[in-house]
Structure 1
Amino acid sequence: MPRIHFHLQLAELKDKLLAMAALSQQAVASAVDAYLQRDPGLCQYVRENETAINAAQREVDEMAYDLLAKEQPMAIDLRFILAVIKINGDLERIGDQAMSIALRTLDLMSDPAPSMPSKIAEMGAHAGHMIRSSIQALLEGDVMVAELVRDMDDEIDALNREAQAELTQVIEDQPAAAQQALQAIIIARNLERIADHATNIATDVIFWIRGADVRHQLTVAE
């Protein structure tokens, strides 16, 4: 009977983490839309969502640490709780990056949006896909999906490099648009970091299921 109660608590912990993941995913989507549409209302939504994400992080951490202290889990259950703690931190940092995008967007509201090459929309869509896939891997305990997320990280790194080059050229060629381009460079970096956190989540799913630490594993190409 005690083990049944423990596994019910693990299921509740997972549900809480998934609810937090939904908040973080929505924060990113709203922040990118706010930037693309120059929408102050969406920026405000991201700020309010950040408060909910921080509260959810504290709740998940408290429950996870309580289970570690009281239940002293072993093997895969221990790995799951440790993975939850790490994933929880990555989800909170995804929220932080979304908040940064929203704040930078607010700084741009007073200036008309110039026409400039930018990969922001594409990077936002790619980062969102990585978050959704990493959470799918967590929900289903699917190592194959987690591995796919790790592979996706190279694509967004390439998009970020393209964005940096294009926007740097804008700064050189269009001094009047330099501030807008600089903010876009930072936002592209925010999205690249969001993708890194999604990759971390996928890596922690692999640790949970396989007991393997692949954080610093080199790819064949490297």
Structure 2
Amino acid sequence: MTTRSYFDEELKKVHENILLMSAMVEKMLENSIKALKEHNIELGQKVIHDDDAIDRKEIEIQDFCIKLLAKQHPLAKDLRLVTAALKIINDLERIADNAVDIAKIVIRISNEKYMKHLIDIPRMADLTILILKDAIDSYIEENISFANEVSLRDNQIDALFKQIYLELLDYMMEDPKKFAQATHFIFIARYLERVADHATNICEAVIYLVTGEYKDLND
């Protein structure tokens, strides 16, 4: 095998590991919301436990990328691939942390009856998970048009967060006894908003990968 062929094979392994890590993170996020809807303590605990695997995967990919650069003489596009990979796994690890934060709240309020039927938070979660999946798809396809389009959907998440925040604020003012739980729900919505921001960061990494230019999409 030539040096170039070997390097391409190693880059392919990085790519495959990122896809594996993204699938693991998506599942964690889905499970954290499912645990919330079902008052499922065991599932919440599983999300927290699964975070260790994400941390290990991030370190594994980081070490692999560093060793790859040290052993080879990468071209400009190769450097962008590795740089984008390192950025993407960092954002995926942060998303996993957000899923853990949600799971911890689920466990904390597991014995409480919810003040209202959950509609907007699960809807916000569904939209956020879709943004994450599409951001990863834009990476798979190296499609900057799609990356730009996906990033624009972050505005929808921001609007939903504001709506949820204001509604919960009304609940808190109407009945101070609902203050603690309403605050927990606000935090959950905030964590979902952060997930969308990290997905937008992944879109930025895709644009950098393809063009070599950094574009701030989190305005």
TM-score (norm: length of structure 1): 0.94
Contact 1:118 1:166 in 2 (8 A): no
Contact 1:171 1:177 in 2 (8 A): yes
Partner of 2:169: 168
Which secondary structure state, in structure 1, belongs to the residue aligned with residue 19 of structure 2? helix
Instruction: Tell me how far apart the structure 2 counterparts of residues 94 and 152 of structure 1 sit (CA, whole Å).
Output: 17
Query: Structure 1 pair 200/217, CA: closer, same or farther in 2 (3 Å)?
Result: closer
1:124 corresponds to 2:157: no
Partner of 2:30: 29
Instruction: Identify unmatched segments of 5+ residues in structure 1.
Output: none
Contact 1:117 1:167 in 2 (8 A): no
1:92 corresponds to 2:83: no
Instruction: Tell me how far apart the structure 2 counterparts of residues 12 and 134 of structure 1 sit (CA, whole Å).
Output: 19
How far 1:119 sits from its partner (Å)?
2.1
1:151 corresponds to 2:127: no
Which segments of structure 1 move beyond 3 Å, counting only runs of 4 or more? none
Aligned residues: 218
Instruction: Identify unmatched segments of 5+ residues in structure 2.
Output: none
Instruction: Tell me how far apart the structure 1 counterparts of residues 176 and 63 of structure 2 sit (CA, whole Å).
Output: 50
**C-alpha RMSD of matched pairs (Å):** 1.4
Fraction of identical pairs, as percent: 31
Contact 1:57 1:89 in 2 (8 A): yes
1:43 corresponds to 2:47: no
| Per-residue CA distance 1:144-171 (angstroms, 9 max, x = gap) | 2211111111110110111110111111
TM-score (norm: length of structure 2): 0.95
How far 1:176 sits from its partner (Å)?
2.1
Instruction: Tell me how far apart the structure 1 counterparts of residues 45 and 116 of structure 2 sit (CA, whole Å).
Output: 25
